[in-house]
Amino acid sequence: MKKINIYLVSLLTVLSVLTTGCKKEFLDVKPPTQVMEDFFTSEANANLAITGCYDVMGWDGNHNTIPFFFGDIIGRDGWKGGDVGGDQDWMNNLINFTYTPDNYMLNTAWKNYYIGVNRCNTAIENIGKMSSDLISDEAKAHLMAQARFVRGYFYFELVKTWGRVPLVDHVLAPSEYQQPLAEEADLWKFIEDDFKAAAEVLPTRTAQSAENIGRATRGAAKAFLAKAYIFQKKWQEAKETTDQIINSSEYALLPNYEDVFKLENENNEEIVFSIQFKETGNGDYGDENEGSMLEVYMQTRNHPFSGIGGWGFNCPTQELVGQYEENDPRMEATIIHDGETLWAGTSDESTFDCTFPTNIDHYSNQKYVLPASQQPGDFSDASKNWIVIRYAEVLLWNAEAAFQSGGDWQTPLQQVRDRVGLGATPYSGIEAIYHERRVELAMEGHRFWDVVRQGRGAELYGQYGFIEGVHNHFPISQDQLDLSDIW
């Protein structure tokens, strides 16, 4: 049996967490560097351990870069962009499906996901051992539910990306470092169990305390459970779970589509779960600060960003732009056209030049571009959250699951269209749902994964080298294989 050496991290790495403030209060402090047996001695420290679990979600190589590199660019909704002369050249092999196990980002993502898993396992085991004089039963259950939610998230990303991966449900002893690849069915069951357990304990969105805004809720756990069902084609279970979210009345579509993505509207009633970022202004780079690099990655190269130009990645393709129906306001909220002026009549008024050489069709992504007054002082330290799941997607999952199981799919689909003032879809059947997902969720990191799970990879990406059954998942990185005993 093939065995993979799990990427292990030190104790201090497990316990290192964010330093943030303001609206990210739940990520407010940094723990002392204590040995394990001395750390889990209070509810406050247990909470810090959970903070460390959430921390990894926002690292470069996770939701700080992965969604647009993999979802949008490989999905052909965005050109790679960037500078001329091989900028982020590792992306070209991914786009053309000529990648090998030594691809840089495959190793980065693998390591980060397992760091996250390890942190969650550490928190679950040690919080579970804490006595009632150190932490209340209610607080213990709540924190452990959060850890299971985050662990479920990391395992979802692992299975989505690689298929069979090691299943590690506890802190490993040195003798256990070589772990076999688990069967996908067992991994999905594990993911489902984590999200189900979390949903039993976590509060609803409206019951979430102010200091915990941004952390997992019952609705978020159920939404990820529904997503796991969708990826497995468990249509009836997906329909029932999305029905529960819809019937809870905890979420709603914002009246104005563009408002969903504004910085001042973060964590609004449409957001089911998002990765929280916070500008720290400490001059650190990447994972060393708590801000996001997404804006500088996607800002057009010919536009100022904190004193420098943006990096110009993930430039929308003409093929994507052509998918929008006439008068669909989602296009203007998603796409910046060359020469377009945004924030007109304000001090942020700005005209965009999208004509740099690697931007083939001369469009830029608007959803994650901030006006000058909201840009950070440090290019890798933006405070705009990355939306992972929003209510519109829950409605579209509900429509897809209903269609596949013989139910009413038109009603949830039309709710999404009604918000943007569109009548009945011009498409029929499942194509109507596929189309709506593409334009509603454009440039949010979903496209490639959608096409693959729908079984359309060869149809849509075959001309670029995609082979069904070969490129549905990515190879385990060579760095990890070199650490392992092979058969």
CB distance 6 to 483 below 8 Å: no
Contact 117, 127 (CB under 8 A): no
What number of residues does the chain have? 487
Going from the C-alpha of 363 to that of each of 72, 124, 284, the distances in angstroms are 14, 46, 30
Q: What is the mean pLDDT of the chain?
A: 87
- Which CATH class name applies to 1-201+466-487? mainly alpha
**Count of CB atoms within 10 A of residue 340's CB?**
17
Q: What residues does 382 pair with on adjacent strands? A: 292
- Rounded to whole angstroms, how far apart are CA atoms 120 and 122? 5
Overall average pLDDT of the 179-204 stretch: 98
Give residue limits of the domains in the chain: 1-201+466-487, 286-384
pLDDT greater than 90 at residue 105: no
Q: Is the pLDDT of residue 286 over 90?
A: no
pLDDT in tens, 113-123: 999 999 999 99
Kindly indicate the confidence band of residue 83, based on its pLDDT and cuts at 50, 70 and 90. Answer: confident
Q: In 191-291, which ranges are E strands? A: 271-275
pLDDT tens readout for residues 132-161: 999 999 999 999 999 999 999 999 999 999
φ, ψ for residue 187, nearest 5 deg: -65, -45
> What was the pLDDT predicted at 487?
22
Task: Say what the pLDDT of residue 375 is.
Answer: 76
Query: pLDDT tens, 323-335?
Result: 999 999 999 999 9
pLDDT at 29: 37
Cα 189 to its chain centre, rounded Å, is: 21
* CB hemisphere CA count around 394 (13 angstroms): 30
For position 14, what pLDDT does the model report?
41
Residue 309 has pLDDT above 80, yes or no: no
Query: Higher confidence at residue 390 or residue 377?
Result: 390
Lowest mean pLDDT among 64-78, 201-215, 336-350, 464-478: 64-78
The pLDDT assigned to 88 comes to: 77
- For residue 65, with 0-12 CB atoms within 10 Å meaning exposed, 13-18 middle and 19 or more buried, which class applies? buried
The end-to-end CA distance of the chain, in Å, is 5
Beta-ladder partners of 308:
305
pLDDT exceeds 80 at position 13: no
What percentage of residues in the chain have a pLDDT greater than 90?
65
* CB 294 within 8 Å of CB 61: no
Most confident of 4-18, 142-156, 278-292: 142-156
